[in-house]
Amino acid sequence: MRLRNIPRADRILSEHQKVIKNEAEKKGKWSMVFENEHPVYVEIGMGKGQFLTTLAEKNPDKNYIGIERYSSVLLRAVERLDAIEEKQGVKLENIRFICMDAADVPDVFEEEEVAGIYLNFSDPWPKKRHARRRLTSREFLKRYEKILDEDGVVEFKTDNQELFQFSLEQAKETGWNLKAISWDLHHDKEMCRGNVMTEYEEKFSSQGNPICKMTAAPSVKDKGISA
């Protein structure tokens, strides 16, 4: 899908207080950024921000960082946050954004600095030669393992069953523990409890597409994310 460039995006993001600049300088210092010791959760490929802003509203005792590669997409998340704060008349201090490539997460977060990672409807990169670019590939799982704390997990949702099968296989091959699996999340009462939907999730589920979800942790990490 061709992304529409928004000329004003870079300027607005560079001036916005919730968008982190020079993010590598914050490595190991995210508690100072948020000015508290609350756990940090990261969504990689956050899109327009519905999922993350909803979590930030629901859980003031947790910190959230949204990562998006494209400035024109991240702009929409920033605009959503601004609209929420204006409507409520209060600032959400537990959310920040970064415009960066997901491959660089070990350069931005210290070992065991992240409590959980969300991957929602990631690009499937359908061509076999691009498999390493998939956010649930072995290469990316190894990156996540470096930054997750001892109880940290990855939660992954998709409507793409081929990508889901690939993700399950990659997790097993990398020695990760598959904590929970559903091939039809919205009909799984246990796993769907407390589920927060993304924009894509609403769209695809309304079309009758089953939503797949897995919760996985490196072999020494054994607890799930509590939303």
Residue 201 assigned as binding residue: yes
Residue 61 assigned as binding residue: no
Q: How far is CA 107 from CA 26, 52, 103, 127, in A?
A: 9, 22, 9, 28
Residue 79 assigned as binding residue: no
> At CA 159, angle to CA 156 and CA 165, rounded to 5?
65
Residue 10 assigned as binding residue: no
Residue 68 assigned as binding residue: yes
Q: Which of 10, 123, 149, 188 is catalytic?
A: 123
Residue 127 assigned as binding residue: yes
> Which amino acid, residue 98?
I
Buried b (16+ CB within 10 A) or exposed e, 64-84: bbbbbbebbbbbbbbebbeeb
Chain centroid to Cα 195, Å, comes to 14
What is the bridge-based pairing of β-strands 212-218 and 148-158? antiparallel
What is the rounded (10 degree) CA torsion for 63, 66, 71, 72?
-110
Q: Is 123 a catalytic residue?
A: yes
Per DSSP, helices labelled H in 2-70 are: 9-15, 30-34, 50-58
Residue 203 assigned as binding residue: no
Residue 85 assigned as binding residue: no
Query: Of 75, 67, 125, which Cα lies nearest the Cα of 101?
Result: 67
Residue 23 assigned as binding residue: no
Residue 159 assigned as binding residue: yes
- Binding residues for S-adenosyl-L-methionine are 43, 68, 101, 123
Q: Which residues are catalytic?
A: 123
- Binding residues for substrate are 127, 159, 198-201
- Binding residues are 43, 68, 101, 123, 127, 159, 198-201
